[in-house]
Structure 1
């Protein structure tokens, strides 16, 4: 078990400084312990193929212990087997379940797509959120899932086919250029942006943070702004957009929203999803309405996450 002191010695110094710039010392200590926590394996039931109670009965028959999530009935936390053991199950191999972290399931729930909607998932690989959106829509409507990396695109394609998400069209291309191709076409847009991944750092695995740097954060902010502009352009007036990251810093989260509110015809919306460990977006130094966004700090159940819901005015 790590101590707070030992965690401070392991993690990048500039990263720690950025946490202290945003949070109180007590909160930083909690974040650090969250980054040292071992979390349960979590999965989402693919309701395009199975009812959640069927999956629960299947797991019970296989002597697999689980807990049903309180805020999303199709999410299960697994208590006594590993990811690799789950991947050997027939129900996994046929696409009946999908291994997915709990915060990763939140953006589609916040987006609230409906059957018949046109939806864009701008940076979609590996496909967990894409296939969740298709399941929420009951495979009725249209989802365009875009990915620019060829290897990740192939993974996205595989998962969409395996999950039976038949309303999803897969596209390989630069998401920052997509808005001009599909101008004001979509009712809903999800931008789960490429980010520095600070919320997913694992103290026990140096590979999760060895490439982190302040310069990398600066570069990512520019990428996020280009993708945001594209997402906004693709969204219909009166449409809903969700911006999310799995990072903790202010620059890739609240400051992106602050910039967007200055440059686009957008308003933040209150997120009604009631989940444990949530806190308001930090509004110090930015617009007060950014409080409507939601942060999850790393903890025993979940990695760190940021979500903001936005409405494009007519």
Structure 2
């Protein structure tokens, strides 16, 4: 397996041994929603043993797991993201800062985009792009689940991404042969085919050139793949550096990040010495997958900027910015007060976009690029529903946990019944004023939208989210039963007053 890489892997025996072992789960704390100490305590109460990485303390290796961390309420609420250790490195190499304008050129399913936004404190703008319409749903889901209000989602071929906006930083996480996923993918274990090794580098180089063209002078571009193949890694960087004619340089990754240096020769071909500053992460380095990371600095205009996007075409002019609607925001504040007893302070610092049947999106962005590629901005609070608004479950999750009107606090059996499609009577203490949409709350957290018809209550959570939460509640129930049989209180089952991250 991967015998062709024997001469460039720093420890062949360790490399081979790691490929034969199952890959452990790792999770990244989402500080936009969770306190790391409180989150760790909650998970360890359930029997998880977590080991933070010294080079990234908010990334934890799951050393012991009673069940998958994906089956926890904390994951469902967006308090952490399951992200393998190697995959966290490209954003650390990019090092985005609060207030910057950053582009993730191939963003789905959203792990790196959410990591960017979290490290930026949700301040600035993250443009999360993907060309595949089927992958945009996962991208939007994860950005909203983790509470990112500074992201704009676009759909465009990265080689033709619209111009007119100079980005401070660009991540080119290029499609590749994915050999670094060998520990969790049978297909990846077969290695790249010759056809892939011929086809992919042209696409990768075009994406990297476009990323560099989109960056401002002095900006940073990180090129990353999850493969071992030098044809897709150092060879691509080498080619683009030569074409850049000195306008682009390779920089070392920030101090303390793991991995081995880039290779400077492969199968009779010699690369520029600069590529040695790139970083190769093999599975045995982090007990993770594989990754290649190159950090590039744009000194000035690159030669191909004058020729427009890849392939040849005219750059778009600066985008006609889309402005928020202050009047719509005032309506939103009044609606939150009237329907849910909220003060409106819950959305301080956010701007309202939408109308004309699009629903309402709340974003921390004072304006949004007017490209035709734009699909959304921030988190959708409500959808148009005839002459009224229907709140989204993500919108209520993020802004309505403090509701004092039209809110129902549910115990586990009641919530399970709703998620299974049953209609139930309103529990004691429910604050229901009129027929209509209500906040469903569990353990003090808004978990989504329900509907009260004046007599009975039903769930209005999207089918997929309801199914995920139902699985989590079943896991909680079985865990609680096992703990109770042992004569101990069930961890994390203290009701609405439970400790919250």
Common fold: TM-score over 0.5 = yes
Asked whether 1:304 is paired with 2:284, we answer: no
Instruction: Say yes or no: does 1:269 pair with 2:251.
Output: yes
Deviation at 1:183, TM superposition (A): 4.3
Deviation at 1:40, TM superposition (A): 1.6
Counterpart selection for 1:254 from 207, 231, 234: 234
* Alignment check: 8 A CA contact 2:96 2:169 kept: yes
What is the alpha-carbon distance in structure 2 between the residues aligned to residue 23 and residue 270 of structure 1?
A: 19
Shift of 1:184: 5.3
Please report how far the alpha carbon of residue 66 of structure 1 lies from its aligned counterpart in structure 2 after TM superposition: 0.9
> What residue is the counterpart of 2:472 in the other structure?
none
Task: Determine which of 240, 244, 260 is the counterpart of 2:220.
Answer: 240
1:137 to 96, 102, 120: 120
Give the equivalent residue in structure 2 for 1:195: 176
Aligned length: 293
Q: How does 1:186-225 map to 2 (within 5 A)?
A: 186-202=167-183, 206-210=186-190, 212-225=192-205
TM-superposed deviation, 1:23 = 2.1
Q: Which has the higher contact order (CA 8 A, sep 6+)?
A: 1
In structure 2, relative to structure 1, the CA distance for the partners of 1:225 and 1:122 (3 Å cut) is same
Gaps of 5+ in 1: 1-10
Instruction: Answer whether contact 1:175 1:230 (CA < 8 A) is retained.
Output: yes
Q: Give 1 or 2: higher helix fraction.
A: 1
Shift of 1:205: 5.0
**Equivalent in the alignment of 2:109:** 126
Q: Alpha-carbon deviation of 1:58?
A: 1.2
| Cα deviation, residue 97, structure 1 | 0.6
Displacement of 1:32 after TM fit?
A: 2.4
| Greater alpha carbon shift after TM alignment, 117-126 vs 168-177 | 168-177
Question: Deviation string for 1:98-117 (max 9, x for gaps)?
Answer: 00000111111111111110
- Give 1:63 shift: 2.1
Structure 2: how far apart are the matches of 1:88 and 1:56?
15
Partner of 1:293 in structure 2?
A: 278
SS of aligned partner of 2:14: helix
Equivalent in 23, 31, 56 of residue 47 of structure 1: 31
Q: Which runs of 4+ in 1 moved over 2 A?
A: 26-34, 204-212
Give the TM-score normalised by structure 2: 0.56
Offset at residue 208 of structure 1 (A) = 2.8
1: CA distance, partners of 2:169 / 2:225: 17
Deviations 1:117-137 (A, max 9, x none): 000000001100000000010
> Hey, what's the Cα distance between the residues in 2 that align with 1:88 and 1:206?
24
The answer to whether the 8 A contact 1:121-1:191 is kept is yes
Matched, 1:64 2:51: no
2:159 is matched with 176
| TM-score, scaled to structure 1 | 0.88
CA distance in 1, matches of 2:54, 2:157: 37
* Partner Cα distance (1:240, 1:170) in 2: 21
Q: Is residue 2:17 matched to residue 1:33?
A: yes
Residues 171-218 of structure 1, C-alpha deviations (whole Å, 9 max, x = no match): 11211100xx2245100000111111112113x853334573111121
Question: Which residue in 1 is equivalent to 2:65?
Answer: 81
Cα distance in 2, alignment partners of residues 27 and 78 from structure 1: 25
Task: Name the SS for the 1:79 alignment partner.
Answer: strand
1:283 aligns with 2:264: yes
**Cα contact 2:177–2:188 (8 A) shared by 1:** no
Q: CA RMSD in A?
A: 1.8
2:60 partner SS: strand
Cα distance in 2 for residues equivalent to 1:273 and 1:157: 33
Q: Spell out, residue by residue over 1:71-100, the C-alpha distance to the aligned partner (whole angstroms, 9 max, x if none).
A: 111111112227x62112110001001000
Contact 1:268 1:293 in 2 (8 A): yes
* 8 A Cα contact 2:283 2:290, kept in partner: yes
Q: CA deviation at 1:270?
A: 1.1
Change (3 A) 1:108 1:182: same
Q: Secondary structure of the equivalent of 2:275?
A: helix
Matched position secondary structure for 1:251: helix
Cα offset for 1:274? 1.5
